[in-house]
Chain A
Amino acid sequence: MDVTQSSKSPSDWTEIDSSYRFPTLFLASKAVGWLLLGSIFSLIASIKMHSPSFLASCPWVTYGVMMPAALNAVVYGFALQGAFAALLWMTMRLGQVKLVAPGYLFIGSLLWNIGVFVGVVGIMAGHSSGHAYLEMPGYVTPILFAAYTLIGGIALVTFHKRQVRDLYPSQWFIFAALYWFPWILTAASFLLHMSPVRGVTQAIIGGWYASGLNVIVLGFIGIALIQYLLPKLAKRDLHNGYLSMFAFWVILFFGGFTGLLPGQSLPAWVGALSAVCSVFVAFAWLILGYNIYRTIEGASSKSAGLGYKFVYFSAVAGLISALLTAWASRVSIAEVVQFTLFIPGLKWLHLYGFVGMGLIGCIYLFLPKVTGTDWSKPGQWTAIFWTYAIGTSLVTIAFLVGGWKHGKGLINPETPFMDVLRGGIAPFIRMSTVGELLVLVASVLLVWNVSSMFCRTYCSCLCGALGSIGKAETEGDTKKSQSKKSSKKKS
């Protein structure tokens, strides 16, 4: 059957690409900044686990405050902002459409960063709401919602104005994520912060929000990225659009129900329903994985470049994460892994390994396109890939294996509790601290590279604008003059 393909020639992209330049550059640079801050908090928390006296006297950096602060910084500051940039880029390329109202998008991004900043400071000041993934105090949600109205709204309007009317599978995922996020945010914030429901109902709604955020909002952007970038970099077409359609509808309907393990202080049906839905989601992931595998079969990763490595890692991490979540929801396994380090391990695999790696790869591939300049030190990006990949893998494996040991110790009532921790899991926690240190190094390099690109783009524009008043084209670099011309066209 037909293969939909772009008929525009590459030289036409400049005008479209440059319309996204400032907003997405802003989003990307703020996103990696939040990753850095989140990594610092996460590292502090990790060190406290084996040196409890580290920074003990300050209530702003206790373990119980650093953990949620790190999580919220990474989820809302890095992952969601990076996701916004990624979905804008994908809409740009797949719909072949210029960005609508970039100024409002910038205001939205600014508001979003203000909201996350106020939220993270609020958590550190002791105003944490106590609900996982929604620890930011209730007064932050209106700011985030207002920011999202601008960002998501503009993304949807841009999507609506697309030139290519046929939808590539990634666009379905983006569309669903764009609608899902404000819905779960408002519902959860209302029912947990503003007009709290009673007792354990809070826990169920909190779990619903967390799985919606992880599996549908962030997960869908991650899936959109791997479905778009892997075929693109391998220079192939997607193997079978109907398989993607199947995966889309299954994960859409069942993804919001995963994550609530059986055996908690909730009625039996909650855990059972969650377990069944996790299995369906894992099956959909297998289909998705099969589809992508058949697409890229035989392609050589060497010719595809470094970006391919990022996205490939992300795809494998996503698949393993979905399979492990389904496995952990079986009653006999949940009994062991519940309340252990295994759960943060799954979180690391999903958030950092799957979504994070995909977003970093996306930043690596798209920022040069929208700014028209190349990375000044491509060698550093290899370093970023390896430190991030090894760091994330170390933390994930340490938590998954350590968590299993932790759980096995806990379910044996003969083992004293202290021995379970000190003897059993302490070496794994140390291993995870090393991993987190590596992720911190990767985020430092990321911030360095993205900021320098930001500076080069806008410093060169500024210099060029000044230079064009007095002198003519004495800069010499054709790329620089191209960006000058396109910025002049914009203004």
Chain B
Amino acid sequence: MSTKPKKTVHKKKHAEDREPGVHKDPVPVLLFVITLLLAFWGMMYLHTNAGGFNRYVYGPFSSYDMVSNVQPGSSDDPMKKGADIYKSICLPCHQASGMGAPGQFPPLIGSDWVNVEGPNRMLRIVLNGLNGPIEVNGESWSGAMPGFGDLIASDEDLAAVITYVRNSWGNEGSACTPEEAAAVRADSGDRGRPWTGPELMALPVEVQ
């Protein structure tokens, strides 16, 4: 083949039943330009329409925050309030998954301290703290948890975080009411020192 003009024209004909060959001319630069522009368009499209690749974002919402902000009456929902409190206070030790850390912080997910009929023992632990050893799901844990009775001052907030833990990660416990929280706070609020495992096990699970 001779030197290439701008528009290469390959019109050589060949014999019957001959398999075609392939010309390999340089590719026009325009192809790369268009490809780059298309890639840019693609990324912008995904930025606006893909909802941040978040599993909770369905069209026409465009981000998780948007979905989260338009939940009706969300400030009154104990699960949402409880989730916010958990995130700021409990998550550093017990983790977002509720799994805790081996040897240090016991799991809340599937825990036999959480999945009982009433929140009495849980309320006391959160208000005053807990000094180990205790048994959780057959495993022994010996550590110390501080109390948060002063930090979670309102009964609504306390009930909300207990409700959240009792209903997350597959835990199927009942909700905790602010009245129950108030009753337990009145009963043990001025205790001043953490609970121990045997002391709590001597108490009933239901709030009296």
- Taking beta carbons and an 8 Å cutoff, which residues of A are in contact with B? 1-6, 10, 13, 93-94, 168-169, 228, 231-232, 235-244, 246, 262-263, 265-269, 271-273, 275-276, 279-280, 283, 287, 294-295, 297-298, 331
Measured between alpha carbons, how far is A2 from B22 in the docked complex, in Å?
8
B151 CB-CB contact with A under 8 Å: no
Measured between alpha carbons, how far is A266 from B54 in the docked complex, in Å?
11
- Contact partners of B17 in chain A: CB under 8 A: 10, 13
- Contact code string B1-41 (vs A, CB < 8 Å = 1, else 0): 10000001111111111111111111100010011001001
Other-chain contact of B22, A13, A168, A266, A287 (Cβ < 8 Å):
A168
- Contact partners of A5 in chain B: CB under 8 A: 14, 18-19, 21
B138 CB-CB contact with A under 8 Å: no
Q: Are B22 and A3 in contact (CB under 8 A)?
A: yes
Q: Are A331 and B22 in contact (CB under 8 A)?
A: no
Q: Are B24 and A267 in contact (CB under 8 A)?
A: no
Q: Can you identify 9 A-B contacts, CB atoms within 8 angstroms?
A: A3-B21, A5-B14, A10-B17, A169-B22, A237-B12, A237-B22, A241-B22, A243-B27, A268-B62
Interface centre among B20, B31, B54 (most CB of A within 10 A): B20
Give 8 new A-B contacts, CB below 8 A, not counting A168-B20, A271-B49: A2-B24, A10-B17, A235-B14, A236-B20, A243-B27, A267-B55, A271-B59, A295-B10
Q: Are A268 and B49 in contact (CB under 8 A)?
A: yes
Other-chain contact of B45, A4, A232, A276, A294 (Cβ < 8 Å):
A276
Q: Are B23 and A239 in contact (CB under 8 A)?
A: yes
Other-chain contact of A241, B14, B15, B23, B46 (Cβ < 8 Å):
B23
Q: Quick one: given A10-B16, A267-B51, A268-B57, are A237 and B46 in contact (CB under 8 Å)?
A: no
Q: Are B53 and A269 in contact (CB under 8 A)?
A: yes
B56 CB-CB contact with A under 8 Å: yes
Measured between alpha carbons, how far is A224 from B124 in the docked complex, in Å?
72
B169 CB-CB contact with A under 8 Å: no
B42 CB-CB contact with A under 8 Å: yes
- Contact partners of A13 in chain B: CB under 8 A: 17
Q: Quick one: given A10-B16, A271-B59, A273-B46, are A4 and B31 in contact (CB under 8 Å)?
A: no
Q: Are B45 and A242 in contact (CB under 8 A)?
A: no
Q: Quick one: given A267-B57, A269-B51, are A242 and B25 in contact (CB under 8 Å)?
A: yes
Chain B residue at smallest Cβ distance from A227: B20
Q: Are B21 and A262 in contact (CB under 8 A)?
A: no
- Contact partners of B15 in chain A: CB under 8 A: 10, 235
- Contact partners of B21 in chain A: CB under 8 A: 3-5, 168, 237-238
- Taking beta carbons and an 8 Å cutoff, which residues of B are in contact with A? 1, 8-27, 31, 34-35, 38, 41-42, 45-46, 49-59, 61-62
Q: Are B20 and A232 in contact (CB under 8 A)?
A: yes
**Shortest CB distance A140–B (Å):** 33
Other-chain contact of A269, B1, B11, B14, B50 (Cβ < 8 Å):
B50
Q: Quick one: given A276-B45, A276-B46, are A94 and B61 in contact (CB under 8 Å)?
A: no
Other-chain contact of B38, A94, A263, A280 (Cβ < 8 Å):
A280
Q: Are B50 and A268 in contact (CB under 8 A)?
A: yes
- Contact partners of A267 in chain B: CB under 8 A: 51, 54-58
- Contact partners of A236 in chain B: CB under 8 A: 10-13, 20
**Shortest CB distance A277–B (Å):** 8
Measured between alpha carbons, how far is A231 from B20 in the docked complex, in Å?
6
Q: Are A262 and B19 in contact (CB under 8 A)?
A: no
Q: Quick one: given A1-B25, A263-B59, A268-B57, are A238 and B38 in contact (CB under 8 Å)?
A: no
Q: Are A283 and B38 in contact (CB under 8 A)?
A: yes
Chain B residue at smallest Cβ distance from A262: B59
- Contact partners of A273 in chain B: CB under 8 A: 46, 50
Measured between alpha carbons, how far is A5 from B14 in the docked complex, in Å?
10
Chain B residue at smallest Cβ distance from A237: B21
Q: Are B25 and A240 in contact (CB under 8 A)?
A: yes
Q: Quick one: given A5-B18, A242-B24, A262-B49, are A279 and B38 in contact (CB under 8 Å)?
A: yes
Q: Are B46 and A6 in contact (CB under 8 A)?
A: no
Measured between alpha carbons, how far is A237 from B55 in the docked complex, in Å?
49
State the 10 A-B residue pairs at the shortest beta-carbon distance, nearest first.
A268-B51, A231-B20, A3-B21, A241-B22, A272-B49, A269-B50, A272-B50, A237-B21, A5-B21, A276-B42
Interface centre among B13, B18, B23, B57 (most CB of A within 10 A): B23
Measured between alpha carbons, how far is A271 from B60 in the docked complex, in Å?
12
- Contact partners of A271 in chain B: CB under 8 A: 49, 59
- Contact partners of B51 in chain A: CB under 8 A: 267-269, 272
Measured between alpha carbons, how far is A235 from B21 in the docked complex, in Å?
10
Measured between alpha carbons, how far is A46 from B21 in the docked complex, in Å?
45
- Contact partners of B9 in chain A: CB under 8 A: 297
- Contact partners of A232 in chain B: CB under 8 A: 18-20
- Contact partners of B34 in chain A: CB under 8 A: 283
Q: Quick one: given A262-B59, A268-B51, are A246 and B13 in contact (CB under 8 Å)?
A: no
- Contact partners of B50 in chain A: CB under 8 A: 268-269, 272-273
Measured between alpha carbons, how far is A331 from B51 in the docked complex, in Å?
14
- Contact partners of B52 in chain A: CB under 8 A: 269
Measured between alpha carbons, how far is A272 from B55 in the docked complex, in Å?
13
Measured between alpha carbons, how far is A235 from B19 in the docked complex, in Å?
8
**Shortest CB distance B42–A (Å):** 4
Q: Quick one: given A242-B25, A276-B46, A280-B42, are A268 and B19 in contact (CB under 8 Å)?
A: no
**Shortest CB distance B91–A (Å):** 25
Q: Quick one: given A239-B10, A246-B27, A267-B51, are A331 and B16 in contact (CB under 8 Å)?
A: no
